[in-house]
Amino acid sequence: MRDESKIWEIIKKYPLTLYLMDFDHLSPPTFKSTKAFNLLKEMESYIYPARENDYVRCYYYLFLPVNVKGKIKFVPTGFCYLKEFDEYEFFVHTKGGIRIGKGDEELSDCYNSLLMRVYEFMKLQHEDPIFVTTKDIYKYYLVGEVKLKYVTKPKMSKEEAKQILEQYKENLKNRLPSDDITLRDYLEVVKVVYEANNFKVDKDLKELYKRYADGRDCGMMDLPLDDKEAFKDWKEHAHCGGHPFEIIRGGFITYGVYLYPPREGRYTIYANDFIDEYINAVKEFLKRKIPFRAPDLINVLKYLTGELVVKVNDYSDFPKHLYIFYFDVENKRKIKWEVIEEVNYRRRR
């Protein structure tokens, strides 16, 4: 690395407490500052876009130098010019961004320092580049992958998981004689899920459902319990997505356990974010030989045994709302980090 003194000068000149700043992926804070807008416009003259189409012109990655316990580390950043809006969106990797348009606003000191650090270091790289490796990047601003067992202790042995999978494959041989069932038939299987999770089941079938389900039943609870045709007709004409079948309700942003009525002779159950409740239900279904499909059972078993590969500093693909922070990982050496490539610089004039 070149003489670090110039990088330290940038860091000291523009004070910054990055973790206290407000960024967002969906609704980024917007600032109307022609001064900041022109700064980003000038930066475009130093670098080539990584991506461009009719709507955006994007540049990534540029590095933000930061002080981490007396050592220089780098945070990946980038920005896009939004052609339709004549605005820029500047983002900090893994955290979100801010929008910058034209106007008389002055950026607060923290956001000004953020942009100026990136700008000044970009100019250094343009004149006398250094190669920034994964080792140099501040790990809280980098996405990685790791097996869950390196984050938390497994909840299930591999032997038990193998046994459940074998039982499930055997159970797939079972089918209902018909998909035409009554609402009572469906709610009786719903009740099995509640019993498997030690929920209180002291009410009649409809009241149990109302107590624990999502609540948006789309008129299902108005149907008679023992009329096959009524339930069949409702399924064919109701347009409420999966809400009536979320039999264990989720949280504010999480999804609960879904149980769908039979199709081709089997019920279908999904875990979503409620792994423990789901696996309890699966075990009980197997015990009672209830015909069912469980499309995400493999992922659930990998999750419980710690073999599931999850993301670090980002949302995992499964479960949908699992977010593992870097500091959550106990064995950090097992993390496989993404490769961040710096922008390509234009030739010096």
- The overall longest dimension of the chain from CA atoms, in Å, is 82
**pTM exceeds 0.75, yes or no:** yes
As to burial, measured by CB atoms within 10 angstroms (0-12 exposed, 13-18 middle, 19+ buried), residue 32 is middle
Burial annotation 247-283 (CB, 10 A radius, 16+ → b, else e): bbbbeeeebbbbbbbbeeebbbbbbbbbbebbbbbbe
pLDDT exceeds 60 at position 1 = no
What's the pLDDT score for residue 238? Answer: 81
CB count, 10 Å around CB of 289? 12
Closest of 114, 57, 68 to residue 91, by C-alpha? 114
- Count CB atoms within 10 A of the CB of residue 290: 19
Looking at residues 81-101, what average pLDDT do you find? 95
Question: Tens digits of per-residue pLDDT, 25-58?
Answer: 778 889 999 999 999 999 999 999 999 999 999 9
Q: Are 146 and 310 in contact (CB under 8 A)?
A: yes
Going by C-beta distance under 8 Å and a sequence separation of 6 or more, which residues neighbour residue 263? 179
pLDDT exceeds 90 at position 195? yes
Predicted confidence (pLDDT) at residue 90 exceeds the cutoff of 60: yes
Residue 225 tokens, joined: 């319990």
Per-residue pLDDT, 2? 60
Q: How far is CA 189 from the centre of its chain?
A: 31
pLDDT at 349 over 70: no
